[in-house]
Structures are given as C-alpha cells and as structure tokens.
Amino acid sequence: MSKTILFQGDSITDAGRGREDDLQANLQLGTGYAQMSAAYLLEKHVEQNLQIFNRGISGNRVVDLYARWKKDCLNIRPDVLSILIGVNDTGHERGSQNGVEVERYERVYRELLAWTKETLPNIRFILCEPFILDSSGWEEKWVTDVHKRGAVVKKLATEFNAPLVPFQLTFNEVLGIAEASYWAPDGVHPSLAGHQLMAEKWIEAYETI
C-alpha cells in the first residue's frame, strides 16, 4: 500500500517546482527542502511506496492556500500533509498593505486543518514554524509579527496532535556557526545549506509519525 505525502506552502516550499496540472508524484519537486526530504525518504523507506507531491506557490499567504485547497490538497488525498506558511502574511502587509493579520491567519489556518481532517480523517499533519533571520533588514515590528505567527503554528500543532518543525529555533541555533546570510541571504529564502538544514529537521518530524 502506498503512502502519499504533500508539501504545501509559499516560495520556500515551491523552490522552482514543476507546474503541470497533471504533475506526477516524485517528479519536479523543486530544489529546496521538500525535494531534499523526498529524496531521503524515497531512499530510506522503499517499503512505503511513497508518492510525494509539492504544491507550494511563491507569494502565497494562508488565504491563498484556502482558495486553492480542494484542488491542491483535498483532491490529492494525502496521508501526510506538511504546511509552511506565514512569512508572506506579514510581508505582503509590509510591502503592499495586503497582508493577513495574525488573528485572521490563525482562524483561516485552523479552518484549513479542520476542513482537511473532516475530509480525510486519518491524515497526519506536519506543521512548520515560519521564520525570519536577522539579515532580512525588516523593521523589528515585522520580525515580531512573523514570530507571532510561529506561536500560532505551535498552538495549532498541539491542537491537532501534529509534530512541529521548529525552523525559527533551528536557524537561531546555527547563527553561531555562520552568519545569517550564509543560511538565508535575504533572511527569508534559504540558501542550499539552509534548505538542507530544514530538510534534516523536517525528516526528524516525519519519523515521529
């Protein structure tokens, strides 16, 4: 019996993935942590006959996920769903006053999870903490806003019995090894090393379920 894994999110998950509507599993997963995680799992867990999809879209906010959720999530019918979303909910407000306030972010995110659980009762979630590194040049209020979204995701992980991938904490811990720009040149989009670090932490979460 095969197991289906779906990665959802914004540009960090997208990472240049393929765009064909009929894109098959395990193909064109991008160049980021989703692809790196998939490569590891496909090699280590041959017996699971994994079918892995990436439906991240650059620029997405949580409301954008909601708008495409049936097509890009429920219709795929994943057994495991990974979500990383939040930095654009802050960033779009900072850049074009089209963000999603923290309280609405929480409500919509919770509704996504509840809708998914109602449709796919046996699904397991992996929730990823949104993050921002100090090299971003963002004002402190926007950095704080991203951190608030991380707190929301931690709460939802507890509420939905899901492992949390602590990306913010993970990046904070390696800043003593190399400067922030080594891990994410603009403070948001990871470098190759940053994506590998994310993949390692994501795999740790997957192995707990």
Q: Which of 32-36, 88-92, 112-116, 197-201 has the lowest mean pLDDT?
A: 88-92
Q: What is the mean pLDDT of residues 166-191?
A: 95
Q: In this predicted model, what pLDDT tens digit does every residue of 46-64 receive, in sequence order?
A: 999 999 999 999 999 999 9
Length of the chain: 209
Q: In this predicted model, what pLDDT tens digit does every residue of 179-209 receive, in sequence order?
A: 999 999 999 999 999 999 999 999 999 999 9
Query: How far apart are the C-alpha atoms of 135 and 24, rounded to whole Å?
Result: 37
State the total domains in the chain.
1
pLDDT of residue 46: 95
What the block records as the tokens of 74 is 């429920």
* CATH code, domain with 20: 3.40.50.1110
Q: What is the mean pLDDT of residues 162-190?
A: 95
Whether 92 sits among the annotated catalytic residues: the reply is: no
Give me the catalytic one of 11, 37, 82, 136. Answer: 11
The pLDDT confidence band at residue 23, using thresholds 50, 70 and 90, is: confident
Q: What is the mean pLDDT of residues 24-49?
A: 96
How many Cβ atoms are within 10 Å of 68's Cβ, its own excluded? 13
**Which DSSP string corresponds to the chain?**
--EEEEEEESHHHHTT----TTPPTTS---SSHHHHHHHHHHHH-GGG-EEEEE---TT--HHHHHHTHHHHTGGG--SEEEEE--HHHHHHHHHHS----HHHHHHHHHHHHHHHHHHSTT-EEEEE-----GGG---HHHHHHHHHHHHHHHHHHHHTT--EE-HHHHHHHHTTTS-HHHH-TTSSS--HHHHHHHHHHHHHHHHT-
Smallest CA-to-CA distance from 32 within 50, 14, 18 is with 14
Enumerate the β-bridge partners of residue 4.
51
Whether 186 sits among the annotated catalytic residues: the reply is: yes
Give me the catalytic one of 58, 72, 189, 191. Answer: 189
Smallest CA-to-CA distance from 167 within 141, 195, 145 is with 195
Q: What is the mean pLDDT of residues 16-43?
A: 93
pLDDT of residue 95: 83
Rounded to 5 degrees, what are φ and ψ at 54?
-125, 120
Whether 11 sits among the annotated catalytic residues: the reply is: yes
Burial (CB count within 10 angstroms: exposed 0-12, middle 13-18, buried 19+), residue 4: middle
Res. 165: pLDDT tops 70: yes
Give me the catalytic one of 72, 134, 147, 186. Answer: 186
Q: What is the span of the domain harbouring residue 153? A: 3-207
pLDDT of residue 73: 97
